[in-house]
Structure 1
Amino acid sequence: MNQFKPPLSSQPPSQDRFGLRLSVPPSLPHYISPLSPIAFLLRAALIFPNKAAIIHPEKGIRFTYVEWAARCLSLAFAIKNTANWKKGDRVAIIAPNTPMILESYYGILAAGGIATPLNIRNNEREIAYVLDHSGASVILVDEEFAHLVPEQLPSNVTVIISKDTGGKDGIDSDQYESFLHTGRQEWEKAEKQEIDRWGKKGKRGWELIEAPKDENTPCCLCYTSGTTGRPKGVLTSHRGSYLAACANAFEFQLTSDSVYLWVLPAFHAAGWTFPWAVTAALGTHYIIRKVDNDLIWNALRDHGVTHYCAAPTVNIGLVNHPKAQRLPQTVRVAVAASAPTAELLQSLENLNVIPVHCYGQTENYGPFVKRYMEPSWSKLAVQDRAQLIARQGHGFLVSDEVRVIKTGKENDSIKDERDLIDVEADGQEVGEIIMRGNLAMLEYYNDKVATEKTVKHGWLHTGDLAVRHPGGEVHIRDRQKDIIISGGENISSLAVEDEIASHEAVLEGCVVARPHEKWGEVGHAFIVLKQGRKLTAEELRQYCRSRMSKFAVPGYIDFVDALPKTSTGKVQKNVLRENLRQAKL
């Protein structure tokens, strides 16, 4: 690692002045600087130029903040000088967690483009759809996933392949590194023109890049998973990304001492804005290309990791790994998709890992609601604490507080915001979560119909069902599509899953609706047992009967080796439902 020497594209200028600031459009008054997450990188390079910005141990790569600022500027100029480039063009990124995908969130924005990260777990057909729908004119792709790029592309599309070398093997061996080198040459050419015209007053480095005139200019286009149809492109802005990053840095207590481990895929909802949040906090990005429990534990034990994001299923794998041991430093993990069970909470705490339960969607820049801990909880039994932590909580610092509104007849004839009726704050009445404000998407890209279905009467409707407790915190009961309606009774699949997960023999479980002649639907549970443990379906049903209403007990139980999951570790209920449908049960 210490022997790594960055290529020219990633080296700061030899002269004293780098120009680590964006030029502000002259039309703006002195009291306005457009909010853009690009500014975080320039600030970090100015304050801590020689601090590690990126550590990529698998490849022996390490960039300081001033080197990374140079590298991202080289990328910006490389993109700006591709054939037929114009502001607002989309740049697709097909990559695992690598320096390339993180620097894309700076270089593409600086070029005036829209970063469009694609899910590497999608197949060729799905990738082709997103590339066509987004109209991407440049594709940055990691060599391992180059097979996902369609063979037949429009003639105006530029494809750049990265070998993830960081330039240490020479720029000629890596197309992406050669691309960056070209960008560096264009940067130096533009700088020379400035100096030839203005002398010492000429702009240098990042001063050659102008901040967006309108901070609401789109900067990212992130596609949903498409579990209920075609993926939808969520368009977000410079301003929203800046504020979401500030919120994540604050809410998850990132500081200049933080080392953030990239477990969450950086392509997922722009990495929940953590590519910017970690940099805003002047922390260090620690990269691994995939979720590998062995590598994760090496990073946690030996490299001072302090933060990461992961779904409960990922954490289940970590706490049950042979290398699991109590850490000397406190590690915070942002947990989403579902709440940590009492058993998982205890296991994490025993390892000095503190879960921060949050909730969000791609449409909200990732997490935007968090459960705020109270000091008195430390005196409670773990089961009681787990029940409190399971609530999703309140809106982030920069976000408006969410609402939970009645569904059904009360809201069938909504004409304006005044007709939206909130549920009672009793922890019982179920309604839909709606939100608005700084952390709401702009729109669904090129999909007016879908946008109008989701954004109504000034509010973004999430489709998630929840209750509001007397303390004001929201608590998700289920997605509308995941509710099981059995004999007229609404059953929360999440509530049933929480109870099943509390059984000492269960590693994880999932419950979906299965058609039933008499009841319309009943629950069908898919269960993964802990290694070496045994449990029968009847024993599990008996356990469920003691903890829930009879109608909520799963009618069918299958024991499986693994559950189908998304790239972020979220169980794919749509796959399980489709499997049942194809089986014609």
Structure 2
Amino acid sequence: MERYQPPPSSQPPERFGLRMSVTASIAHNITPLTPVSFLTRAALIVPNKIALVHPERGVRFTYAQWAARILSLTFAIRNTPGWRRGERVAIIAPNTPMILEAHYAILAAGGIDTPLNIRNNEREIEYVLGHSGARLILVDEEFAHLIPKQLPSGVHVIVSRDTGGTKGVQESADAYEAFLDGGRKIWAQAEEDERKRYGPKAKKGWELLDIVENENEACALCYTSGTTGRPKGVLTSHRGSYLAAVANAFEAQLTGESVYLWVLPAFHAAGWTFPWAVTAALGTHYILRRVDNNQIWDALNHGGVTHYCGAPTVQIGLVNHPKAKKLDRVVKVAIAASAPTADLLAKMEALNLEPVHVYGQTENYGPFARRYREPSWSDLAVEERARLMARQGHGFLVVDEVRVVRRPSDDSSPATGKDERELIDVERDGKEIGEIIMRGNLAMLEYYNDADATAKTIKHGWLHTGDLAVRFPGGEVAIADRSKDIIISGGENISSLMVEQELADHADVLEVCVVARPHERWGEVGHAFVVLKEGRKGNIDKEALRAHCRSRMSKFAVPAYIDIVDELPKTSTGKVQKNVLRARLAKL
């Protein structure tokens, strides 16, 4: 196979300026924080190191080539008719080089990075595009059908065929590559104009761009899943994105030897800031268009992968895949949504997959807390280690202390100013339930164009997550449930998460989800949807599952209804869609 040669738009010049300019208004002892600086730093330090590998297309870029390619994209974006600072640029794409490149170039161009969920339907995409007011849309050819037929005037669409400008592909056949080529020409003209005006003092490359003056300026607009209504646009800053990337690089122990496999969608909370974190660590991005267990195992076995992120549902598919075998190195796996069960933990450890349980939301740049391992765990049985790992733990390096506070009896009552004394912490006894709150570096700026939703979430100077939790003597938090997922049966509060964890411990259970079902006498009761392991159907019935529950929980918490199903509805990030199951029950 002929070796891939990057197109002219992705070729660095002989003298390549790799330092964004700092305006005279910025003091000498301050450099505004922006994730873009990770790219220029990497291209300076390790220009010939592979930055990105896209094996499905045979595409790969060194850091010098990738920095040139992203600068070409930056100039192309800035040349969009009517472009102004703060314009939103939407990206509709699976995990491809384009979406990672856009996460840098949009920021460098002074725009706001707006990645959209490719699992959304046309109506949802139309709403988000309208709400964000995106002027430019970068879309992968596979998802071009999601673009509304009628767009407002002044909105421009660029379609990518994900070719990487491979040899034999005409620029006219891949509009994204033509867009980059046009940006490279604009960049070259800007350098020529500089040379004519300033001679040997002329700026080149990244020097032609000014670094952001206000690091608290918005740089990303990521939309929530919208499971309880319209999606909300979470606005985050350059500073927060920079610090979140630093925190993720530190907490994941990314280094220059790291190869990060893109399993997590890069559109989800801007890929949890890993597009920037991997580059900050001088690591390599290994990108696949979709979650394909066969390709993932090829990457694990032959691609030198050291890290990836994924929900427990992703891990279940991987550990049970025919290609699964013990790796010759430890691969660190960040798991969100819920911790691995004892059975899953044992299987992952046997394969040299080391799970790290993290917790966060789009409103927090993705994960902002994790469960830290303790030396004493090595002497414990796998069941006990799984129970300890299930806690959400403590805040990341750059995060303030994560608190759990008592919820007011009337959630609708307005907050009175920012008096923190109104927030009362729960007892650290692992029993009293309250709400997780956080503040500081990894808290969003606001919900875009939604003052009411912002006011309901940011109260007393803290961001209220809506997650109910307990806190243990060591200070670590453990989620009891989402506030909307608590089942209130006959006046008793039942944690659906607790019931799920206990059911998942059954040897025949692969996955489980528990939701509230309306009940004439008790108000609500639990309804469990259970997926059994391969080949276990017929070996166990609903009553046996109830007996398992009765041995582990109060009688009122045992699900009144249990359905054994083939699969659970899930989001693009692997989270079970409880709203879909609730809607299914509402029709009964």
TM-score (norm 1): 0.98
Q: CA deviation at 1:576?
A: 0.4
2:263 paired residue number? 263
In the TM superposition, what is the alpha-carbon distance from 1:64 to its structure 2 partner? 0.6
Counterpart among 509, 519, 523 of residue 516 in structure 1? 519
How far the C-alpha of 1:419 sits from its partner, in A, is 1.3
Contact 2:72 2:184 in 1 (8 A): yes
Aligned counterpart, 1:274: 274
Question: In angstroms, what is the RMSD of aligned CA positions?
Answer: 1.0
Cα drift, residue 409 of structure 1: 3.4
Alpha-carbon distance between aligned partners in 2 of 1:375 and 1:320, rounded to the nearest angstrom: 29
Task: Say if 2:415 and 2:459, in contact at 8 Å, map to a contact too.
Answer: no
Distance 1:414 1:447 in 2: 17
1:174-209 CA deviation, whole Å, 9 max, x = no partner?
Answer: 000000000000001111111111111111000111
Work out the CA distance in 1 between the residues paired with 2:543 and 2:200. Answer: 81
Aligned to 2:94: 96
Q: Which residue of 1 aligns with 2:421?
A: 418
Instruction: Determine which of 561, 564, 572 is the counterpart of 2:569.
Output: 564
CA deviation vs aligned residue, 1:250-297 (integer Å, no higher than 9, x gap) = 001000000000000000000000000000000000010010000000
**Residues 1:545 and 2:543 are matched in the alignment:** no
Q: 2:417 aligned with 1:427, yes or no?
A: no
Which whole-Å deviations, capped at 9, do the CAs of 1:332-381 have from their partners, x for residues lacking one?
A: 00000011111111110000010000100000000000101112211111
Contact 1:414 1:420 in 2 (8 A): no
Preserved contact between residue 7 and residue 170 of structure 1 (Cα < 8 Å): no
- Unaligned residue ranges in structure 2 (runs of 5+): none
Give yes or no for contact 2:53–2:285 (8 Å, CA) kept in 1. yes
Shift in Å at residue 126 of structure 1? 0.1
Q: Which residue of 2 is the match for residue 399 of structure 1?
A: 399
Which residue in the other structure is 1:211 paired with?
Answer: 211
Instruction: Show the 5 A alignment for 1:75-474.
Output: 75-168=73-166, 169-409=169-409, 415=416, 416-474=419-477
Counterpart of 1:579 (choices 569, 580, 584) is: 584
Query: Which letter maps to 1:163?
Result: R
SS of the residue 2:81 aligns to: coil
- Between the two proteins, the alignment pairs up a number of residues equal to 581
- Separation (CA, whole Å) in 1 of partners of 2:270 and 2:11: 26
The whole-number CA distance in structure 1 between the counterparts of 2:410 and 2:30 is 44
Output the amino acid matched with 2:46.
Answer: F
Q: Could you say which residue in structure 1 is the equivalent of 2:534?
A: 531
Task: Give the letter aligned to residue 551 of structure 2.
Answer: S
Which residue of 2 is the match for residue 53 of structure 1? Answer: 51
C-alpha contact 2:95 2:266 (8 A) present in aligned 1: yes
> Does the CA-based 8 Å contact 1:143-1:163 persist in structure 2?
yes
- The 3-state SS of whatever aligns with 2:376 is helix
Q: Take 2:395 and 2:558, find their aligned partners in 1: how far apart are those partners?
A: 33
Matches within 5 A, 1:57-72: 57-72=55-70
Alignment of 1:13-52 (within 5 A): 13=13, 15=14, 17-52=15-50
Q: What TM-score do you get using the length of structure 2 for normalisation?
A: 0.98
Q: Which amino acid aligns with 2:260?
A: Y
SS of 1:291's equivalent in the other structure is coil
Q: Give CA deviations for 1:111-142 in whole Å, capped at 9, x if unaligned.
A: 10001000000000000000000000000000
Any conservation in 2 of the 1:410–1:421 contact (CA below 8 Å)? no
In the alignment, is the contact (CA less than 8 A) between 2:510 and 2:532 conserved in 1? yes
Question: What is the rounded CA distance, in whole Å, between the counterparts of 1:413 and 1:569 in structure 2?
Answer: 35
* 8 Å Cα contact 1:304-1:329 kept in structure 2: no
2:478 alignment partner in structure 1: 475
Deviation at 1:167, TM superposition (A): 0.4
Q: Could you tell me how far 1:410 is from its partner in structure 2?
A: 9.2
